[in-house]
Amino acid sequence: MAETAAREAELLAKVPTGLLINGEWRDASDGGTFEVADPATGKVLATLASATSEDALAALDAADKVQASWARTAPRERAEILRRGFELVTERAEDFALLMTMEMGKPLAESRGEVVYGAEFLRWFSEEAVRDYGRYLTTPEGKNKILVQRKPVGPCLLITPWNFPLAMATRKVGPAIAAGCTMVLKPAKLTPLTSQLFAQTMIEAGLPAGVLNVVSSKSASGISGPLMQDSRLRKVSFTGSTPVGKQLLKDAANNVLRTSMELGGNAPFIVFEDADLDKAVEGAMAAKMRNMGEACTAANRFLVQASVAEEFTTKFANAMKALKTGRGTEADTTVGPLIDGGARDDVHALVTAAVEAGASVSTGGAPVDGDGYFYQPTVLANVPNDADILRSEIFGPVAPVTTFETEEQAIALANASEYGLASYIYSRDVNRMFRVSEQIEFGLVGYNAGVISNAAAPFGGVKQSGMGREGGAEGLDEYTTVQYIGIADPYAK
């Protein structure tokens, strides 16, 4: 334990605690601070400078001043900075993993997985930076030439959530750098330490002063409000809850800002009677329990064909029962804490209401006594289709199972949500996969796969799960504007 404590203290000493503005770490303008706590113990990990509105505008000043020169920087140079960032993050994987486990709670094995996933956005966009193609062609009637080019959208506000502290930053910073945009990054106040260390790493990778500015703060509105009222800001990219996303969209309307919104989810996990049930359970564990269920892509509703529901639920409950809760640094931990006490209370309230509505507890169903914000991995069977837990984003290690009879009913149940981010289908019938995926209203579909996020694939949802895409070639498009130049055709008569 003493060795672990010493290692954690050594790592925390490496993390900058100030605001990054124009390449320098500084205190908040009013001297304000806020604390970051370990959700496994409740103990304070670090005290950071808390940015004010004045600091936010200073960060935008810095971003605006270097936007023109950064946009003119050769794509290869921007690509090389991203590549060096990828290499440095990979070299420091253990530091990033431990830091995420400390501030967010996930087991070290999951944190290591996030480092690999998050770093890949830097490598992917280093490769995309030199492939931001335009086009040149003749108009159909032959009078003019069409020249289309892509240009960086300009200074961006990037607002990241607490659940994936590294990957959500790299998924936004990577394409912004590749496109030639400058940035003001606002990390979540619950887990800002990873973003602080990542920003320092990008400086070491060669990112010029002012291109990336970081304003960690205890007041989200104190940062976003004045920035979104400033005409120099050209884009906001937000990952978080749908209610906050809606407010940001209203704020963005005043200056007609470009927006990317990755919002809430209520993912259906559909198991048909012809599925390989063992693989379906394996996929269900991955789709549900990644990040303790604190993911917008987490399987939220398990829709199982009635003929196999009992067998699937029994196997699923046995797999969940075998998990072990604990601090993420402990070697045998497979489930860490929820992010705070409020989150745990919300999860338990949903479970309690579902049981009162007629659901039965197959395993779990209660908070874990002791320090930290732990909740038992839970499977609920026979959940009524009108239960609140099927309409809410659970954001915890709870899996409600309900049944359906026909393919048409499965599709109707899947679409009975305001959200449309991730979905999962388990079946041996490929034709069924095509039929169902074409009819369900979700931006992401996993077919016999419980984890599908990848830097090379477009990530995003429909309906109230947001707009825009992150990752893939589409991710770079989000940070560019299209300019058309009409040129008189020298051969036209």
Active site residues: 262, 296
> Do 480 and 152 contact (CB within 8 A), yes or no?
yes
> Do 73 and 128 contact (CB within 8 A), yes or no?
no
| Spatial CA neighbour of 265 closest among 463, 15, 32 | 463
Backbone φ and ψ of 37, nearest 5°: -115, 155
| Spatial CA neighbour of 448 closest among 281, 265, 311 | 281
| Spatial CA neighbour of 38 closest among 333, 375, 335, 340 | 340
Token code pair at residue 461: 């949802």
The Cβ-side half-sphere exposure at 15, using a 13 Å CA radius, reads: 28
370: left (phi over 0), alpha (psi -120 to 50) or beta: left
What are 184's strand-pairing partners? Answer: 157, 213
Distance (Å) of CA 234 to CA 130, 170, 199, 241, 424: 23, 20, 21, 22, 35
| Spatial CA neighbour of 57 closest among 259, 255, 232 | 232
> Do 292 and 298 contact (CB within 8 A), yes or no?
no
- Spatial distance between the Cα atoms of 316 and 398, rounded to a whole number of angstroms: 12
Place of tokens 């388990």: 426
